[in-house]
Structures are given as structure tokens and as C-alpha cells.
Amino acid sequence: MTRKNILVFRELPPDQLARLQAEHTVVQADPKKDRAAFDAALAQAQGLIGSSFPIDAAVLDRAPKLEVVSSVSVGVDNYALDELHRRGIVLCHTPGVLDETVADTVFALLMATSRRVVELSNLVREGRWQKNIGEDLFGFDVHGKTLGLLGFGRIGQAIARRAALGFGMPVLYHTRRPVDLAVQAPALQGHAHHRPLDQLLAQSDFVVAMLPLSDSTRGMVDAGLFAQMKPGAVFINGGRGATVDEPALLAALDSGHLRAAGLDVFAREPLPAESPLRTHARVTPLPHIGSATHETRHAMARLAVDNLLAVLAGRQPAAPYDLGAA
């Protein structure tokens, strides 16, 4: 088989890098560290693999031989989908292997915001635990509360299972059409209920956004939606930061309408030092760790390598992204 040129633009685990090197000529260049090396390798690359860097029309213009982009992520908002489609370049991603891990992260944010885990742990660490804590530092129960999900794909359903089956929480979800639970999520039959958006917002104690970023979801969670949430609700974002109007979220927290927010994602990442979300007393921020466990990041890298090798060998990849539907 002819060796092709692969550009790796984010670190891969050594065993997965070795699989690529066994079949092809591999150049590693992180565009955030060495843009010149990245651009030079692009000119020869038939395959690209990595994540967290925008592959836009200008990047694609420098990659005339490109056949496939394999993203080590499920989200594809970093890629110029229409340009890839127009140029006949295959895009692959890593759905499925990260669902349970991201759901764990979102649940950690539900628990941390409601039980004030970070704040109270800091109280102990800083030597301020000098008497039994009083009501001013009590939290709120998570079990039995109503969870509202914006986005009910594989990850949303994994969150719903934890909530309904583990914490006895009624689950509401909003999608364009109700999901056929009997077929797609039998464990959630009788536990998860489709609701119009206004009803979901008015009834949920926790509103969890798991929305992909697209033209139709950018800025979707705005002042109007926050105003419709129950007073004292908690907002969690485990999808994409830019689906939320961050100034509107801050206003809802400052007014006391929302009790707290748990955020794994932000409109700009890393979160700029000057962002009020970084230190806000009602915000638990995380540095986009949804899928960041040893096991899951390795599984994502393995699937991305499988995808890349398959396309370069003329085989069907396990997880192509449907650019025709974008």
C-alpha cells in the first residue's frame, strides 16, 4: 500500500501514533506552537488528525492534497463543514466512546453546584472550619429534583439515566421531535418526558445544556430563556460555550434569579483571565474536561486513528460525519 502523508496537529498517545507511523509518513506540528511547521506539512498532507484548532477555508486552501480530516472529538464546530463538503474531503469524528464520561462530568457539576463542594472544600483547606457549618453554608438536594435537558442525544440520554435511575429525578427534555424511547433509550421509558421549551424551563430545578454549536444554536440560551427558568434554578453547560449568551447568564446570576451555574465550556477557551465567570461566587467553572479521563481520551484517539487509516486505505470509516446533512 502507498504510504501517504499525515499531519498530526495535536498530541496522540504513543501507541496510536505508532499505528499511523507503521503505515504512513507522519509529521507532528501543533499550529498553536509552530504555525510555520504546520503550514509546511499541510501542503503535502493527505490526512489530518487532531482537535481544538479551527480548520477553516484558509487552512484548507493550503492543503491541496487533503483527503480526510479525522477529529479527536465528537463536536465538529471547529471545521468549515461546507468547505470540506465542497472539496470532497471526508470528515470523521469520535461519537459514542465519550458519552458516559461526559455524563459523569455533568453530574459532577450538578453535585458541586448544589452541595457547594468546591467552596466548602476550600473552607477546610484554608483552615476556616472552626465550628460546625450553619444554614448559611447548607446546600440543596439533588436527588428527587427535576432535570431539564436541552439536547437529548447520546450524552443527554446518559445524563438522563444517571438522574432518573440513580437519583430518582424526573427528567424533561426538549428536542424538535420526541425521541422514540422504546427504540433509542428503553431504560428511560416512563422516566424521561418530552416538553415544549417554555414548560421545560418553567418546571426544571436543573437546566442542562448539551447543545452542539451550529448557526441555529449559537447564543440560543439567552436572556429570554434565563428569564423563563424557575427562580432558584441551576444552569449547567456541558455542550459548547457559544450556545450561551454569557453576559445574560451573568445578569441572571447577579440578580439572584439563578442560584448557580456549573460550566465546563465557554465562548472563549481557555477562559480569559478577565472573564467575570472565572471567579463569580455562584459559578463552578471547569477547564473543558468533559471527556478528559485517561481511558476515554485514549478511546477517542484510537477511534480517530481507526477512522483515518480506513479512509486513507479506501475503506469505510467507523465514524464519518455526514457532511451532506450539515
| Catalytic positions, written as ranges | 240, 269, 288
Our CB check for ligand DGY shows the closer of 5 and 94 to be 94
CB of 53 vs ligand DGY, minimal distance in Å: 13
Our CB check for ligand DGY shows the closer of 116 and 288 to be 288
Rounded Cα distance between 61 and 164, Å, is 48
Dihedral sign (CA 30, 36, 41, 42): positive
Q: How many CB atoms lie within 10 A of CB 322?
A: 9
- Site mask for ligand DGY (CB under 6 A), range 129-148, x = bound: --------------------
Find the residue with minimal CB distance to ligand DGY: 75
Q: Does 296 bind ligand DGY (CB under 6 A)?
A: no
Strands of the chain (E only): list them.
Answer: 5-8, 25-28, 47-50, 68-71, 90-92, 147-150, 171-174, 192-194, 206-209, 233-237, 258-263, 283-285
Applying CB under 6 A, among 241, 291, 303, 323 the residue interacting with ligand DGY is 291
CA separation, residue 21 to residues 43, 87, 164 (Å):
19, 26, 45
| Contact present, 79 and 91 (Cβ < 8 Å) | yes
Rounded Cα distance between 119 and 58, Å, is 44
Our CB check for ligand DGY shows the closer of 109 and 142 to be 109
Contact region with ligand DGY (CB under 6 A), list: 11-19, 40-48, 69-77, 196-204:
69-77
Q: Does 75 bind ligand DGY (CB under 6 A)?
A: yes
What cell numbers appear for 124 in the block? 477546610
Applying CB under 6 A, among 73, 113, 114, 217 the residue interacting with ligand DGY is 73
CB-based contacts of 254, cutoff 8 Å, min separation 6? none
- Site mask for ligand DGY (CB under 6 A), range 97-116, x = bound: -x------------------
Contact region with ligand DGY (CB under 6 A), list: 67-75, 148-156, 162-170, 202-210:
67-75
Contact region with ligand DGY (CB under 6 A), list: 68-76, 139-147, 173-181, 201-209:
68-76
Rounded Cα distance between 36 and 298, Å, is 28
CB of 224 vs ligand DGY, minimal distance in Å: 26
CB of 21 vs ligand DGY, minimal distance in Å: 24
CB of 179 vs ligand DGY, minimal distance in Å: 21
Our CB check for ligand DGY shows the closer of 159 and 253 to be 159
Our CB check for ligand DGY shows the closer of 246 and 264 to be 264
What cell numbers appear for 198 in the block? 417554555
> Distance from first CA to last CA of the chain, Å, rounded?
32
CA separation, residue 287 to residues 31, 105, 272, 301 (Å):
20, 11, 11, 20
Q: Which residues bind ligand DGY (CB under 6 A)?
A: 73-75, 98, 290-291
